[in-house]
Chain A
Amino acid sequence: MSTKFLKIAGAVASLALISACASSTGPDIDTTAGADTGAGSGPVGAVPGSQEDLEQSAGHRVFFAYNQYTLTPQAQATLSRQAAWLKEYPETRIVLAGNCDERGTREYNLALGARRAEAARAYLSSLGVDSSRITTVSYGKERPLDPRSTEEAWSLNRNATTTISSVGS
Chain B
Amino acid sequence: MKRFFAILLTAMAAAFASAAQARVTIDITQGNVDPMPIAVPNFIGGDDNASALGRDITGVLMSNLDRSGLFQVIDQRAYIYNREEFGVNTRPRFADWRIINAQVLVAGEIEELPDGRMQVSTRVWDVYANEQLGAVAFKTPADNWRRAAHKVADFVYKTLTGEEGYFDTRVVFVHETDDKQNRTKRLMIMDQDGANPVPLTDGLNYQVLTPRFSPTQQQITYMALFQNRPGQVYLFNIETGEQEQLGTFRGMTFAPRFSPDGTKVIMSMERNGNSDVFKMDLATRRLTRLTDNPSIDTSPTMSPDGRRIAFTSDRGGSQQIYTMNADGGGQKRITFGDGFYQTPVWSPRGDLIAFTRQYKGRFYIGVIRPDGTGERLLTESFLDEGPTWSPNGRVIMFYRQTPTRRDGSGGDASLWSVDLTGRNLRRIRTPAGASDPAWSPLLP
Contact = CB atoms under 8 A, between A and B. Distances in A.
Interface string A53-80: 0000000000000000000000000000
B252 A107 contact: no
Contact of A108 (B229, B270, B296, B405): B296
Contacts of A163: 228
Nearest to B251: A114
Nearest to A165: B228
A103 B358 contact: yes
A137 to B, nearest CB: 5
Contact of A147 (B299, B312, B411): B411
Those 9 A-B pairs whose CB atoms lie nearest each other, nearest first: A118-B273, A149-B403, A147-B180, A111-B275, A107-B255, A111-B296, A149-B404, A105-B342, A147-B408
B289 to A, nearest CB: 16
Given A108-B319, A137-B252, A145-B181, 5 more contacts: A105-B356, A122-B273, A143-B181, A147-B408, A149-B382
Contacts of B411: 147, 149
Given A104-B358, A148-B406, A111 B268 contact: yes
B386 A105 contact: yes
Interface of A (DSSP majority class): mixed
A145 B181 CA distance: 6
Contacts of B312: 105, 107-108
B76 interface: no
Given A107-B268, A142-B183, A137 B230 contact: yes
A117 B273 contact: yes
21 contacts: A97-B228, A103-B361, A104-B340, A105-B385, A106-B386, A107-B210, A107-B312, A108-B314, A108-B340, A110-B209, A110-B252, A110-B255, A115-B273, A118-B274, A121-B273, A137-B229, A137-B231, A138-B230, A143-B182, A144-B181, A149-B382
Nearest to A145: B181
Nearest to B229: A137
Given A106-B210, A144-B181, A147-B180, A135 B252 contact: no
Interface size class on chain A is 35 or more
Contacts of B223: 110
Contacts of A140: 209, 225
A146 B383 CA distance: 17
Contact of B406 (A106, A143, A150): A150
A5 to B, nearest CB: 30
Contacts of A95: 228
Contacts of B405: 148
Contacts of A149: 382, 403-404, 411
A52 interface: no
A21 interface: no
Nearest to B270: A114
Nearest to B342: A105
Contacts of A137: 226, 228-231, 252
Interface in B270-293: 270, 272-275
Contacts of B183: 142
A112 interface: yes
B179 interface: yes
Contacts of A107: 210, 254-255, 268, 298-299, 312, 342-343
B154 to A, nearest CB: 31
B401 interface: yes
A103 B358 CA distance: 9
